[in-house]
Amino acid sequence: MSLKCRLLMLAGLAAFNGLSAQVKTDTGKCIMVFGAHADDVDEIAGGTLAKYVAMGYTAVYVCMVKNLDGCSLERTPWFDEGPDFTVSGSPMKYRVEALETIQIREEEAKAAAAVYPAIPVFMDFREPTLYIGRSIFFYGSEEYNRYNPPGGRTVALATMGENEDVDVVYDLLKEYKPEIVITHTLGGEKMDHGNAAYLVYIAFKQAMANGVPVGKLWMPVNGWLLDEDAQASGKGKPDVRIDISQYLETKYKALNMHISQNGGLGRNYLMSEGVPLNEQVEEFITVIDNTN
């Protein structure tokens, strides 16, 4: 395992603290969910994660991006119906700068992971946007470079064949040997999501090539898979349907921990975004099956 990955593992396990005793490991199996941002794990597979934990799997909750954006004071960002984030009652939104956002969103993710419970792991890839005061700056701009936020390359650059970046994900797969890996959709609806998915895909293939006993790689039906052509051809049709009806409370309790994102109203937040909710089922496409 590389030094960088080992440090990340230690940080994640330290954050996990005493929860490991609560995680059921009697099956000796593992499920690992990679989310680009701090709340993505719960959105794409929270019910599935809860169900597999109940079945005795060790769960690993991976946040790939060091969040530099997406946190506001006073009112919950992106969600007008959310509660005030502080006691002032201001109707305005005041962006939190990058360093504070990293801290807040990591603490929220730790709290969410503890709900399942799952082992939280935080990777080091930079987000391509950050706020300085009221202004947003993009990766590569003079202001972004001058700020020099902590973290490594962005996920997009990490997918360009740099072995050390792929190895961070590969080492995690090698450590836990997950039977099930879930991540975003290749070519998904957001740049960070699609690039994170591709990085996991590359590392999964590397694990297979090196004889690491990883199992199946699942991705939700999203992005281009929702296009009419993909649906008509069958490429966008899920082959995995997980009944999560008994685990909705756990999923939303975890999602509600991301207060800076959704004000603690995760279900209402998802509905406000126009996300079609089939709350009884989480659906995925098997991208790779290494169990045959």
pLDDT values of the chain reduced to their tens digit, one per residue, 292 residues = 443 444 344 444 444 443 333 444 466 899 999 999 889 999 999 999 999 999 999 999 999 988 777 676 655 555 666 555 555 556 666 667 777 788 888 999 999 999 999 999 999 898 888 887 778 889 999 998 998 888 888 888 887 765 788 999 999 999 999 999 999 998 877 888 999 999 999 999 999 999 999 999 999 988 888 888 888 888 888 999 999 999 999 999 999 998 877 777 788 877 776 655 678 899 999 999 999 8
pLDDT at res. 41: 96
β-sheet bridge partners, residue 119: 60
Exposed e or buried b per residue across 14-29, where buried means at least 16 C-beta atoms within 10 angstroms of its C-beta:
ebbeebeeebeeeeeb
Alpha carbon distances (Å) from 253 to 75, 245, 264 = 20, 14, 9
Among 48, 60, 285, CA closest to 171: 60
pLDDT at res. 177: 97
How far apart are the C-alpha atoms of 98 and 69, rounded to whole Å? 6
pLDDT at res. 284: 95
How far apart are the C-alpha atoms of 262 and 113, rounded to whole Å? 17
How far apart are the C-alpha atoms of 136 and 114, rounded to whole Å? 32
How far apart are the C-alpha atoms of 66 and 125, rounded to whole Å? 6
